[in-house]
Amino acid sequence: MYYTQEGTDPTWAYILENEMIPLLRNSTEGVTGSRIRVNRELVEQGPYAHLPIERNIRIHTLGNSFIRREHFDRWSRWYQEDGNTQVFRLFEGETNVRNRRANAARIEAFSAHTWTHGDGWQEWVGTVTLVRPTGSIFQVKAPGPVDWGVMISSGGTDGVNIQRRRGERTRVATGRQFHLRVRDNGHDYEVYINGRLEATGAWDRQGLRSSFRWGMYVGGRRVPEDDHMILFTGATVNPPAETEAESPAGSTP
């Protein structure tokens, strides 16, 4: 009910067998896929529905870790945009192929805008539709061994887990769609869901610059066992001041 699909997509085995994606290097060719048409009347609701998709982003796929906006269309198997909504897909059996890192299937957008402690509070807002999610769906992340400070994950359509780095995990019942707001200052962070503050914490980034990442990332311990999809609407970094900062609880459709 959240989308319609035009066309079909080959299996991951078919792509590998027919050498449709190169191995052990960042591909520039990409892999295209079926067209997803978002049901905007259903998906694009709430305080962030009017926000256009953040322009200053890159995407990270199984075959390339730093894809600029002008090349997004080459990677439509995994990433598309329709209206103010981003479409992220992963397929059964997929794995990272750009280097030797095992498994690690992902399709993520990440902000080209970065910050460090002392730059003040930075903010990400958007509405999330859990069509058929898997793995990590949001991170505040710094490079290398410092890695993420807070991570949101989901393996179902009724809620998410907020994981603090080396800290507690909070389960939040969200339903299929919810409004997400994350604030971070390079050390401290806050996570709001439907206007309610659900998690706070801190993580020392050792002077490294942080960014926001969203989409789906499975990690190195397993591969997707099904086809997966998640939608992000109005995903914006540091939105205009007139944007409603905290969506009212219970406003999900």
**In this structure, which CATH number among 3.20.20.80, 3.10.180.10, 3.40.190.10, 2.60.120.200 belongs to the domain 3-237?**
2.60.120.200
| Domain boundary assignment for the chain | 3-237
Using alpha carbons, list the distances in angstroms from residue 194 to 76, 166, 174, 218. 30, 25, 8, 25
Say whether pLDDT at 248 is over 70.
no
What pLDDT shows up at residue 252?
Answer: 38
Percent of the chain exceeding pLDDT 70 equals 96
Q: What does the pLDDT average to over 53-59?
A: 98
Decide if 213 contacts 61 (C-beta within 8 A): no
Whether residue 64 is predicted with pLDDT greater than 90 in this model: the reply is yes
The secondary structure of the chain in percent helix, strand, coil, rounded to multiples of 5, reads 5, 40, 50
Q: Across the chain, what does the average pLDDT equal?
A: 95
**Range 4-31 average pLDDT:** 98
Say how far apart CA 109 and CA 138 lie, in whole Å: 10
| Pair 140, 148: CB distance under 8 Å | yes
pLDDT for 238 beyond 70: yes
pLDDT of 105 > 80? The answer is yes
> What phi and psi, each to the nearest 5 degrees, are found at residue 237?
-100, 125
Reported as half-sphere exposure (CB side, CA atoms, 13 A), residue 40 has a value of 11
Band of residue 251 on the pLDDT scale cut at 50, 70, 90: very low
pLDDT of residue 52: 98
Task: Characterize the bridge pairing of strands 35-38 and 3-6.
Answer: antiparallel
pLDDT digits (tens, 9 = 90+) for 192-229: 999 999 999 999 999 999 999 999 999 999 999 999 99
DSSP string, 97-128: -SSS--S-EEEEEEES--B-TTS--EEEEEEE
Q: What's the pLDDT score for residue 241?
A: 86
Q: Rounding to the nearest 10 degrees, give the CA dihedral for residues 21, 25, 28, 34.
A: 30
Q: With bands split at pLDDT 50, 70 and 90, how would you rate the model's confidence at 246?
A: very low
User: Above 80 in pLDDT, residue 128?
Assistant: yes
What is residue 244's predicted lDDT score, i.e. its pLDDT? 54
CA–CA separation, 136 and 149 (whole Å) = 13
